């Protein structure tokens, strides 16, 4: 399965609380103009009609023949069964709706559902950051290659997905990669998304600038401009709001990456502010822990973390400590790189595009497995 050259047509959708974005993809390219429609989150009939009409419009645009439908839909859901549960941002689905089977009946093709964090990670693993970094390692003459990826979306929420050796890891309940509900480092009874989200940045800025949360608090894009001195406001509060995000995100990533051991790619609306939060994120990943006595420090993880957006750090990451060692008894030389490391990079595809390509690739893989 090579998504970039595959001739099959798959219809994809990125479903949000306000809009639905429909695509028709073949060979990793849109073959019809994408369609965006309002989601009608409070009206189940209008929402389902929008889904059918959007997919039907894309099917007609590619000549009427498609091989599958594959899309991202918010959870909670039984993704394998195609049943959507009680959603906060699409309340019309409360009580459970068999969306996948409904669309299979209507279009006569397999329908695959996943969440956006999973599909973002899958798109980046097959067509985004993972192959890009492996290509740079090859060009640098380094034998190391990465096969695993943790994909994270930073925006309204804090989403995640895990790809292991080219396969999306969904877990037994379709709940793998749900990093949002890991513990908040700075508020131990809260969850990480409360520190890694749009609302977290706005809340922290309001606190630091002496504003009430009910006041007109700038959005994160404006807060980033304030941090850069390009817009009036409290520059100190702006910088601190992103530093806090980086610290909380770094702690959550450190816990996750200790289990996943792979590259990390960040996407979503907040990822563009990476210069403001990446130093704190890396400081957390490259920090230390101690024993309960406060002694015997150890690295926060076994892995050195590098900022792949920084040229100097990227160069060190690509070089590693690669050298050749002698095989005892033969004199033969083999390559060896003892540096255990990961890289943190920003999506070059963009979250929406990565989700679409992830949905496309997931459908191709599922079709091949069922053939």
Q: In this structure, are 157 and 204 located in the same domain?
A: yes
- The whole-angstrom separation of Cα 252 and Cα 269 is 19
Rg (the chain; Cα; Å): 22
Q: In this structure, are 53 and 167 located in the same domain?
A: no
Measured from the Cβ of residue 181, the count of other Cβ atoms closer than 10 Å reads: 12
For residue range 95-142, what is the model confidence (pLDDT) as tens digits?
Answer: 889 999 999 999 999 999 999 999 999 999 999 999 999 999 999 988
Q: In this structure, are 317 and 212 located in the same domain?
A: yes
Does the bond joining 76 to the residue before it have cis omega, within 30 degrees of 0? yes
Q: In this structure, are 144 and 257 located in the same domain?
A: yes
Q: Is residue 292 part of a domain?
A: yes
Predicted local distance difference test score (pLDDT) of residue 337: 86
Q: Give the distance, in angstroms, between the CA of residue 303 and the centroid of all CA atoms in the same chain.
A: 20
Q: Which residue segment(s) compose the domain that 100 sits in? A: 10-114+362-370
Predicted local distance difference test score (pLDDT) of residue 269: 95
Q: Give the CATH number for residue 15.
A: 3.30.420.40
Q: In this structure, are 75 and 102 located in the same domain?
A: yes
Q: Is residue 141 part of a domain?
A: yes
Predicted local distance difference test score (pLDDT) of residue 20: 93
Q: Is residue 1 part of a domain?
A: no
Q: In this structure, are 56 and 157 located in the same domain?
A: no
Q: Is residue 276 part of a domain?
A: yes
Q: Which DSSP category does 328 fall into?
A: T
Query: Is the distance from CB of 226 to CB of 220 less than 8 angstroms?
Result: no
Q: In this structure, are 179 and 40 located in the same domain?
A: no
- The whole-angstrom separation of Cα 67 and Cα 59 is 10
Q: Is residue 353 part of a domain?
A: no
Q: pLDDT of the chain along its 371 residues, tens only?
A: 799 999 999 999 998 878 999 999 999 999 999 999 999 989 999 999 999 999 999 999 999 999 999 999 888 889 999 999 888 778 888 888 999 999 999 999 999 999 999 999 999 999 999 999 999 999 998 889 999 999 999 999 999 999 999 999 999 988 999 999 999 999 999 999 999 999 999 999 999 999 987 778 999 999 999 999 999 999 999 999 999 999 999 999 999 999 999 999 999 999 999 999 999 999 999 999 999 998 899 999 999 999 999 999 999 999 999 888 999 999 899 988 889 999 999 999 999 999 999 999 999 999 999 98
Q: In this structure, are 190 and 285 located in the same domain?
A: yes
- The whole-angstrom separation of Cα 279 and Cα 353 is 27
Predicted local distance difference test score (pLDDT) of residue 331: 87
What three-state secondary structure class fits 308? coil
**What is the domain count for the chain?**
2
Predicted local distance difference test score (pLDDT) of residue 89: 79
Q: In this structure, are 220 and 294 located in the same domain?
A: yes
- 194, two tokens: 């409360």
Q: Is residue 193 part of a domain?
A: yes
- The whole-angstrom separation of Cα 40 and Cα 93 is 11
Q: In this structure, are 273 and 141 located in the same domain?
A: yes
- The whole-angstrom separation of Cα 224 and Cα 220 is 6
Q: In this structure, are 167 and 83 located in the same domain?
A: no
Q: In this structure, are 68 and 137 located in the same domain?
A: no
Q: Is residue 124 part of a domain?
A: no
Q: Which residues of 104-127 are buried (b: 16+ CB within 10 A; e: fewer)?
A: beebebbbbbbbbbbbbbbbbbbb
């Amino acid at each position: 399965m090579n998504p970039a050259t595959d001739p099959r047509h798959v219809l994809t959708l990125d479903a949000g609380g306000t809009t639905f974005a429909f695509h028709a993809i073949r060979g990793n390219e849109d073959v019809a103009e994408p369609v965006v429609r309002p989601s009608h989150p409070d009206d189940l009939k209008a929402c389902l009609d929008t889904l059918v009409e959007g997919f039907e419009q894309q099917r007609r645009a590619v000549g009427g023949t498609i091989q599958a439908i594959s899309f991202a839909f918010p959870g909670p859901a039984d993704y394998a069964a195609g049943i959507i549960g009680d959603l906060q941002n699409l309340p019309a689905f409360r009580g459970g709706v068999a969306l996948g089977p409904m669309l299979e009946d209507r279009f006569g093709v397999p329908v695959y559902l996943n969440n956006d964090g999973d599909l973002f990670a899958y798109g980046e693993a097959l067509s985004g950051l993972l192959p890009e970094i492996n290509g740079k390692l090859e060009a640098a003459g380094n034998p190391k290659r990465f096969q695993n990826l943790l994909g994270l979306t930073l925006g309204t929420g804090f989403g995640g997905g895990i790809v292991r050796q080219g396969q999306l890891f969904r877990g037994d309940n379709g709940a793998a990669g749900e990093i949002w509900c890991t513990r908040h480092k700075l508020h131990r009874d809260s969850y990480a998304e409360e520190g890694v989200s749009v609302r977290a940045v706005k809340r922290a800025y309001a606190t630091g600038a002496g504003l009430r949360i009910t006041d007109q608090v700038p959005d994160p894009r404006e807060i980033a401009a304030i941090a850069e001195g390009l817009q009036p406001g409290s520059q100190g509060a702006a910088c601190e709001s992103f530093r806090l995000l980086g610290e909380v995100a770094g702690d959550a990533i450190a816990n996750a990456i200790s289990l996943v051991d792979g590259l990390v790619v960040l996407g979503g609306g907040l990822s563009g502010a990476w210069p403001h939060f990446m130093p704190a994120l890396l400081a957390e990943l490259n920090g230390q822990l101690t024993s309960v006595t406060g002694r015997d420090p150890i690295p926060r993880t076994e892995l050195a973390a590098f900022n792949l957006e920084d040229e100097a750090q990227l160069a060190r990451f690509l070089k590693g400590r690669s050298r050749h060692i002698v095989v005892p008894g033969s004199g033969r030389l083999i390559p060896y790189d003892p540096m255990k490391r990961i890289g943190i990079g920003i999506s070059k595809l963009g979250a929406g595009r990565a989700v679409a390509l992830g949905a496309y690739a997931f459908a191709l893989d599922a079709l091949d497995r069922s053939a």
